[in-house]
Chain A
Amino acid sequence: MLIKELTELNGVSGNEDEVREFIKKEAEKYADEITEDSMGNLICYKKGTSSKYRVMLSAHMDEVGFMVTGYEDSMLKFASIGGIDERILPGKRVLVGEKRIPGVIGSKPIHLQEKAERGNNIKQKNMYIDIGAEKKEEAEKLAPLGEYIAFHSLYTEFGDGCIKAKALDDRIGCAILLEILKETYQFDLYVCFTVQEEIGLRGAGVAAFRVNPDIAIVVEGTTCSDVPGAREHEYSTVMGQGAALTIMDRTSYPNKKLVEFMCKTAQNRNIPVQYKQTTTGGNDAGKIQLTRDGVVVASVSVPCRYIHSPVSVMKREDYESCLKLVKAVLDEFGSDENLIESFCV
């Protein structure tokens, strides 16, 4: 099961090795050529049968997590890598370093909290990771400064076709792209698995520079706030309503013609699709759009509730919608030589 395997790997930004090695093994079965660049991006090339165009698909391998920054007694102090809501941290399980040393995020139990502490959220600076070390020296040895730390969370299927896992953002994109790689297309296809998205879209621009694509589509896991406490216009996406197309966000302004074309393609083929209804957030499309002399981009995403937490939730049917839509769009690209060109003018 690709989604299970992918989400149970650890790949905090800057330390994507485990994920890259796994994807490489899978991709080798289908790609004509695989390049690993100096940052760790994995670029899987699939030679086209006829078209002169270069199409790039991109999903990031990294996930949010933590890094060891110091010690307090025998405990690890830690900093976040990527955007994590500190309110979710107390009581979570983590794995430290390549050896996956188990740890728990500790804080003061309620009985020992002062009145003011009880009424306010616990600050990350007042938390620490307990690996069971007895002395500071032991902690330093097992978890040296700068060691990467990932959330621990097992892939779980539940509810009405739902999946809970960590790192659905963006292993779900990786899973979709590995499926796409299985087929052959008319145009040259560059499937890119990028690094360091969560700390500022660092990998995708570099990959896009190397690929120099005519068009690029980013496949993501995105915010889904269709939960109590949020008003309907704040939902961004709704779980179960299909692949989400981005109109604009903080980092990219996708090509209008391409986005409309993708939406229409979905509708023509009865693939559930929705527009992402907030302009917050951002993803690799932002960096790819501004690479070299500019690239035509679009983003399509699987809605994920509780994103950036160890218990992200998505619906399998949304994954299928997203995969079908990407396949359909590539299919259209292949059947009409001039289609890609038409987005550029």
Chain B
Amino acid sequence: MDYINILKDLSTYPGVSGREDKLSGYIAKMFEKYCDSVEIDEFYNVIGIKKGKGGLGRRIMVTAHIDEIGLIVKSIDEKGFVTVSNIGGVDSKVLLAQEVIIHGKKEIYGIIGAKPPHLLTAEEIKKAVKMEDLVIDTGLLAEEVRENVSIGDIITFKVDPFVLQNNRLSSKSLDNRAGVAALLDIMENLTLLNHNDDVWFVATVQEEVGLRGANIAAYNINPDLAIVIDVCHGQIPGTPKESVFPVGKGPAVAIGPNLHRKYSRKMIEVAKEENIPYQIDVEPGDTGTEAWAVQISREGIPTLLVSIPLKYMHTVIETLSIDDIKNTGRLIARFISMTGNEMEEVLC
């Protein structure tokens, strides 16, 4: 798999929470290459099924959310400058001088500005710039802006993905398009590995605004086991070592009450047996991922969480190691192929 190019395309494809429709279609096409059937549900979750050889009808659901954080048009002023609100957890401090696309009647390029620095008071310059003080400059006349942009239109960030040293990639929305790449990797791996259970791959929507897509998918699919793939914080200077994970040292397997204890152990065993690098992600409570919603769907679903370390989460320079994605794919594919017969045993 050409991970760098697939991720460049995936990460720059617009798909803010609640507006994933086009992205879902794009991802469904990617799924079709590997899956026996692919469908898009009413919420635009993409569901790809890869049948197992066991014929037992047992279902393993593997999810990765496809939505990204973004902005939404709040108002247009008399000169045509556009003010914004956020969708999902956006840090207003990283938005100045950022290029954006407003998805109005047509795509409109703009730049995020604010009151210029030399006009700020000493007090103002220390305080974080607020979302309501940011404006988008489209370089268009006011009437042209009004013709094409409406309140509620979605805004995405415009970035040039950067390939860094050591097979690292920096782009927007790698949270969680990296997870989508991992899904593809699992599919590819499973074309070579035997697996007894049916695998339901779900590219989910609306994670960033409250784990909504996964909630619905878990209910509809009602799987026997769920594996959630998301990102975790990559290690950077000035952060507590216990809550961050070095990039390039393998996926993080979560353990804690949100996750099924025996399956988590099994996942770690597989990593050891297969010599796949991994890290342990200790989660004493809410994992902040879809696992939190999926676990308590219907009569309860044994759930696992595997995370890809990602630096600068929720910025336009999210940075990860391609190797971590590959190892995530390998680990989960091996796990799926090995659990088949042992499932009863683990569950007892």
Contact = CB atoms under 8 A, between A and B. Distances in A.
Contact of A228 (B77, B138, B239): B77
A122 B138 CA distance: 26
Nearest to A315: B139
B282 interface: no
A72 B314 CA distance: 22
B315 A164 contact: no
Interface in A90-128: 90-93, 101-113, 118-122, 126, 128
B319 A118 contact: no
Contact of A108 (B116, B129, B165, B239): B239
Majority secondary structure of chain B interface residues (helix, strand, loop or mixed): loop
A93 B162 contact: yes
A313 B111 CA distance: 9
B168 A121 contact: no
Nearest to B315: A91
A137 to B, nearest CB: 12
A309 interface: yes
Contact of A91 (B129, B138, B312): B312
Given A112-B233, A306-B111, A132 B168 contact: yes
Given A106-B317, A107-B312, A134-B248, A230 B237 contact: no
Given A119-B128, A280-B118, A159 B139 contact: yes
B105 interface: no
Nearest to A133: B165
Interface string B191-226: 000000000000000000000000000000000000
B170 A104 contact: yes
A170 B164 CA distance: 29
Interface string A76-98: 00000000010110111100000
Interface in B301-320: 311-317, 319
A225 interface: yes
A112 B244 contact: yes
Interface residues of A, number: 61
B168 A234 contact: no
Nearest to A95: B162
A49 interface: no
B280 interface: no
Nearest to B112: A311
B89 to A, nearest CB: 6
Given A106-B311, A109-B312, A111-B314, A156 B109 contact: yes
A306 B113 contact: yes
Given A104-B312, A111-B313, A159-B139, A309 B236 contact: no
A64 to B, nearest CB: 13
Interface stretch (B11-19, B43-51, B95-103, B266-274): B95-103
B106 interface: no
A199 interface: no
A179 interface: no
B115 A142 contact: no
Contacts of A111: 89, 233, 313-314
Interface in A294-345: 305-306, 309-311, 313, 315
Contact of B164 (A108, A132, A152): A132
B319 A160 contact: no
Contacts of B111: 164, 306, 311, 313
A112 B239 contact: yes
A227 B113 contact: yes
Contacts of B129: 87, 121
B41 interface: no
Contacts of A102: 162-164, 170
Given A73-B237, A310-B97, A121 B166 contact: no
A93 B164 contact: no
B238 interface: yes
A162 B162 contact: no
B346 interface: no
A106 B317 CA distance: 8
B109 A87 contact: no
Contact of B127 (A121, A131, A161, A306): A121
A162 B139 contact: yes
B218 to A, nearest CB: 24
Contacts of A247: none
A311 B128 contact: no
B142 to A, nearest CB: 10
Contacts of B244: 112
B151 interface: no
Nearest to B164: A132
A16 interface: no
A299 B75 CA distance: 38
Given A91-B315, A109-B233, A158 B109 contact: yes
B317 A105 contact: yes
B93 interface: yes
B164 to A, nearest CB: 3
B94 interface: yes
A73 B268 CA distance: 29
A164 B237 contact: no
Interface in A196-237: 223, 225, 227-230, 234
A88 B113 CA distance: 9
A154 interface: yes
Interface in A220-259: 223, 225, 227-230, 234
B140 A160 contact: yes
Nearest to B170: A104
Given A91-B317, A121-B125, A159 B138 contact: yes
Contact of B314 (A88, A110, A158, A315): A110
B162 A228 contact: no
Report the 4 A-B pairs with minimum CB-CB distance, sorted nearest first.
A159-B139, A132-B164, A229-B115, A162-B139
24 contacts: A91-B94, A91-B316, A92-B317, A93-B162, A102-B170, A108-B238, A109-B312, A109-B313, A110-B91, A111-B313, A112-B233, A119-B127, A119-B128, A121-B93, A134-B248, A152-B160, A225-B119, A227-B116, A229-B115, A234-B119, A309-B96, A310-B97, A311-B99, A313-B137
Interface of B: 77, 79, 81, 89-91, 93-94, 96-99, 109-111, 113-119, 125-129, 133, 135, 137-141, 144, 159-160, 162-166, 168, 170, 233, 236-239, 243-244, 248, 311-317, 319
